[in-house]
Structure 1
Amino acid sequence: MKQVDIVIIGGGPAGLAAAVAAYDSGVRDVLILERDEQLGGILNQCIHNGFGLHTFKEELTGPEYADRFITQVRDRSVPYLLNTMVMDITPDRVVTAVNRTDGVLQIQAKAVILAMGCRERPRGALNIPGYRPAGIFSAGTAQRLVNIEGYLPGKEVVILGSGDIGLIMARRMTLEGARVKLVAELMPYSGGLKRNIVQCLDDYGIPLRLSHTVVDIEGKEHITAVTIAKVGADRKPIPGTEERYACDTLLLSCGLIPENELSTAAGVTLSPVTNGPVVNESLETNLPGVFACGNVLHVHDLVDYVSEEAAKAGAAAAHYVKRALPDGCDREITLKPEGGVRYTVPATIRPDRVSDQVTVRFRVGEVYRNAFVSVYFDDTRILHKKKRVLAPGEMEQVILTKESLDQYPSLQTITLKIE
């Protein structure tokens, strides 16, 4: 059995940033396992710009952003295995993987970083009536077909769901000569970034129909039309509001699901809200030495935040391997989301292990205007920050300093709420 200090599962933006940070934190024995044929993950098919403004202070395309981190990994001679599928992780960090060159591999790791990313929600999870004709794609699949494979899925397009990938593909399909008739969104608000709504829909005259969904798909061999209808507050279609659109392509952009089958099998506790691991301030799961970062932890809106979070996980894993953590860290503070805050990452904080500050990321459950993000230390409000707009499609954050935590030595609960 091969012995490795840190095994990173996933060679996308999270895995790459974690590897660089672990190496720079003094642990040289790092191995990346990637199931695809190249490093970079989903960024390889994201040829639009808008990446890197926070990390590199310049606007990059997805492949350019990925290449920056791939170069850093190669400059440090961090080894990686491509076309390698991880089959199992045990609670004591034995990783079983398989590829065509080495066959079955068993690796005993001192620390494991989960960076598997996420997948799109399929049609089968949406309960749309109709046959199962050709011409229905997830937005990410269509993105790969257009940007990497060089195929155009269709010419008359309807998009269900206003996630960022769906918005970006509305623009991409338009630029390739297709006609995008509309984007329908079940919720009364968009699931994507405001800038993508403006740049991908408004700039091209593509209508966004909020509180609408697809209620019927026509066609047996190939899709010929869809029917959309307005939905009420209960998210159920309202009779009499149906509209029919002839089309040859339906793209689905209805949410992302963190890839946590390996995590679940290993015994990692998952959040029912994010479907990602429950982690502490070091991004460590309930299994000692198993860390999580990126979209496998919770779905991010910006890859820059993925890299920032992954770097923290990589450094924390390195400290774990080197046993460079202070003793006597039994006290744990629980973070409690309330009043419109859906979840927080991390879910707990051990103040003795906070060196400088903790970034707490969260999402809200609906659109708020001119509201306040409030943080309570037990019953004492220590932060009351006004926000002009809060939306589910955009991740928010607050920063808690070690100094503020140390001022409350008996603190048990930190509550985040919208007021």
Structure 2
Amino acid sequence: MMESYDVIVIGGGPAGLAAAVKAKELGLETLLLDENEFLGGILPQCIHPGFGIHYFKEELTGPEFAHLFIEKIKDVGVKYQTSAYVLNIENYSDLEKKIVFSSPRGIKEVWTKTVIYAAGAREKHAFEIGIVGDRVAGIYTAGEAQTLMDIYGIMPGKEIVIVGSGDVGLIMARRFALEGAKVKAVIELMPYPGGLARNVMILRDFNIPLYLSHKVVEVRGKARVEKIKVVKVDENFKEIPKSEFWINADTLLISAGLMPNVRLLQRIGVKIDPSTGGPIVNELLETTVPGIFVAGNALLINDLVDYVAEQGEIAAFGAKEFIENEGIPSKKWIKLENGQNIRLLAPHYLSGERDVYVYARVSAPMENVKIVFPEIKKKLRSPMVRPAEMLRIRLKAEEIRSAEKKITMEVIPQ
């Protein structure tokens, strides 16, 4: 007899761990699959603090956050398998889905009524951001370098140039500096830093140069990186003639952002939002394929792991409702749309039957703003909004019901 479950969670990072725990607590027979040798996703290599402030009400490192959830997994009795690489999701009907995965014991097939997809995100690589030149050693994504340092204890280089001033790039700048490497520069395409304010302060603390409105365009070296070409860009991100200069370095770190890892979902016809790079979902985080739910960085790129865990729990509640009703009951869905200075948001469809958290990012930084939802006459004030910081706004059920067909989210000057 082939194994069968109420829900299979794909991905053992914070979203998947939270989803599996909550699904089990809700009485669902749950299986968690993760391709790594250990649970926790990216967390075990994130040895810096800053995790868990909202979810666990204390500041934790990544390994500590993962440990607490792994203990929960064991306490509630979630069945899980590591080194399980999901090859395919086969959608036979609303309540019949087959997951095919490989493991050290071979290929296995299991059946499930619902899937919570929490496979996280992938890093952008050098070729995706237009860097050309010699294909030499010493070019890493931030995640690769972090794994080398924090999991295997290997120092990737001594003289570092970092592409991208997002939180990961800034945290890696500090990590390199603390280990005695020379961070020669952080290069940022945008005219403003991409990370949280507390992480931007790292550059000042360690006297690391930040080049805004610049980009790396070329790498040269023989066996290893030797020098890196940087050029200034204008407001349209076009290269300014004769603005180029070279930085001598042995390592180039690419921290140019993340993309939701949605390859398996696209195969089964899940519709993708071009702005988030992740699936289009309703308030229960169900995708356009019934019974397939998504959470965490596979949905949209989050800045706080606490939000990732929260989304995992929402998806578990969605799976529970789906199974109990043999599908999410038909509703009068109200579309949530991004308006002025909103680059992306999720979820995309609301029912008005429950309160909902909206996760959104702005296109550009602004000070002294109003966050408005014109159709429901909701207004909030904020001293500052920045693309690096996720906006998390709670819409009440009665507010949602007051709209007819759509709700627009905007950020405008006060």
**If the length of structure 2 is used for normalisation, what is the TM-score?**
0.95
Residue number in structure 2 paired with 1:45: 45
- The separation in 1 between residues aligned to 2:189 and 2:309, in whole angstroms, is 31
Amino acid of the structure 2 residue aligned with 1:388: P
- The separation in 1 between residues aligned to 2:102 and 2:203, in whole angstroms, is 43
| Aligned residue pair count | 407
Structure 2 residue 405 is the aligned partner of structure 1 residue 401: no
Sequence identity percentage:
43
Residue number in structure 2 paired with 1:172: 175
Residue number in structure 1 paired with 2:295: 293
SS of match in other structure, 1:36: coil
SS of match in other structure, 1:414: strand
1:311-322 paired onto structure 2 within 5 Å: 311-322=313-324
Given that residues 17 and 311 in structure 1 are in contact (C-alpha distance below 8 angstroms), is that contact kept between their aligned partners in structure 2?
yes
CA offset digits 1:144-176 (Å, max 9, x no partner): 111111111111111011121111110000111
Given that residues 337 and 416 in structure 1 are in contact (C-alpha distance below 8 angstroms), is that contact kept between their aligned partners in structure 2?
yes
Structure 2 residue 3 is the aligned partner of structure 1 residue 5: no
Given that residues 184 and 213 in structure 1 are in contact (C-alpha distance below 8 angstroms), is that contact kept between their aligned partners in structure 2?
yes
- The separation in 2 between residues aligned to 1:326 and 1:48, in whole angstroms, is 40
CA offset digits 1:252-289 (Å, max 9, x no partner): 10010111110101111111111101000110001111
CA offset digits 1:9-55 (Å, max 9, x no partner): 0011100000111112222x100010000000000100011111111
- The separation in 2 between residues aligned to 1:398 and 1:197, in whole angstroms, is 25
- The separation in 2 between residues aligned to 1:330 and 1:253, in whole angstroms, is 41
Shift of 1:216: 2.3
1:142 corresponds, among 130, 142, 145, to 145
Given that residues 30 and 79 in structure 2 are in contact (C-alpha distance below 8 angstroms), is that contact kept between their aligned partners in structure 1?
yes
Amino acid of the structure 2 residue aligned with 1:97: F
Given that residues 215 and 227 in structure 1 are in contact (C-alpha distance below 8 angstroms), is that contact kept between their aligned partners in structure 2?
yes
Shift of 1:193: 1.4
- The separation in 1 between residues aligned to 2:331 and 2:44, in whole angstroms, is 43
SS of match in other structure, 1:244: strand
- The separation in 1 between residues aligned to 2:194 and 2:112, in whole angstroms, is 38
Shift of 1:325: 7.9
Amino acid of the structure 2 residue aligned with 1:403: E
Residue number in structure 2 paired with 1:89: 89
SS of match in other structure, 1:15: helix
1:196 corresponds, among 194, 199, 217, to 199
4+ long deviations beyond 3 Å: 324-327
Structure 2 residue 40 is the aligned partner of structure 1 residue 30: no
- The separation in 1 between residues aligned to 2:399 and 2:277, in whole angstroms, is 30
- 268-277 or 311-320, which deviates more: 311-320
Amino acid of the structure 2 residue aligned with 1:369: E
CA offset digits 1:209-237 (Å, max 9, x no partner): 11011122121321111121211112122
Given that residues 276 and 345 in structure 2 are in contact (C-alpha distance below 8 angstroms), is that contact kept between their aligned partners in structure 1?
no
- The separation in 2 between residues aligned to 1:322 and 1:255, in whole angstroms, is 38
1:16-415 paired onto structure 2 within 5 Å: 16-27=17-28, 29-92=29-92, 93-101=97-105, 103-198=106-201, 200-323=202-325, 327=329, 329-352=330-353, 354=354, 357-377=355-375, 381-406=376-401, 408=402, 411-415=404-408
Amino acid of the structure 1 residue aligned with 2:31: L
CA offset digits 1:47-90 (Å, max 9, x no partner): 01111111111111100000110000000110101101101112
Shift of 1:326: 7.9
Shift of 1:417: 0.9
Root-mean-square deviation (Å): 1.4
SS of match in other structure, 2:374: strand
- The separation in 2 between residues aligned to 1:108 and 1:120, in whole angstroms, is 31
Give the direction of change, closer, same or farther, for the CA distance of 1:325–1:108 in structure 2 (3 Å limit): closer
CA offset digits 1:286-320 (Å, max 9, x no partner): 11111000000000000011011111111221222
Amino acid of the structure 2 residue aligned with 1:52: G
- The separation in 2 between residues aligned to 1:145 and 1:236, in whole angstroms, is 34
